[in-house]
Amino acid sequence: MRIIDRQTAYKGHYKLSQLRVQDGEKVLERERFEPGTAVAALVRHTGSGQYILARQYRIGPEKELVELAAGMVDEGEEPATAIRRELQEELGYDVDQLEQIARIFPSPGNSAEIITVFYAEVSRQSGPGGGLASENERIEAVEFSADELFTAEFEDAKTIIAVQWAKLRK
């Protein structure tokens, strides 16, 4: 299979492309959601041992979710730089240690999104967190002990991956 034509079907907050895909002698029409490149991190406070996640309203499921702090990578920005920025904006923490867990395609059948998932250790809060008003973010930090984190039920795939990674390292 190979893409033989690509047109922008919609470009707003996100982009949607119309693709023509050559599959042998057949030509298939497909749409591809192109939200960009994202980062997320499972955050652990080294002083308290607590894990810090983010609660916010998500438009996809139309409800609040508790998930990893996350955000988009700006053009030309490295994922590690982006996650440090996002953790400061969303949770108010400076990162002491950062380790990449995985680089994933959360829905490769219809989306070009790539998420780099990190584990971050923090020890000091230097800002208020809560997200940026200019991005209409209202984020609440939620703390979990290791036992609470490992027994909680999450609906977000990147969070499930990071929690399973942490369980395996325990």
Given a contact cutoff of 8 angstroms between Cβ atoms, the answer to whether 55 and 144 are in contact is no
**Three-state SS at 95:** strand
Going by C-alpha positions, the residue among 117, 31, 22 that lies closest to residue 73 is: 117
User: Is 137 part of any known ligand binding site?
Assistant: yes
Q: Supply 2's token pair.
A: 């190979």
User: Is 78 part of any known ligand binding site?
Assistant: no
Rg of the chain over all Cα atoms, to the nearest angstrom: 18
Sign of the dihedral through C-alpha 149, 151, 155, 158: positive
User: Is 90 part of any known ligand binding site?
Assistant: yes
- What is the C-alpha to C-alpha distance for residues 163 and 157, in angstroms, rounded to an integer? 10
Given a contact cutoff of 8 angstroms between Cβ atoms, the answer to whether 98 and 85 are in contact is no
Known binding residues are 70, 86, 90, 137
Annotated binding residues for Mg(2+), written as ranges, equal: 70, 86, 90, 137
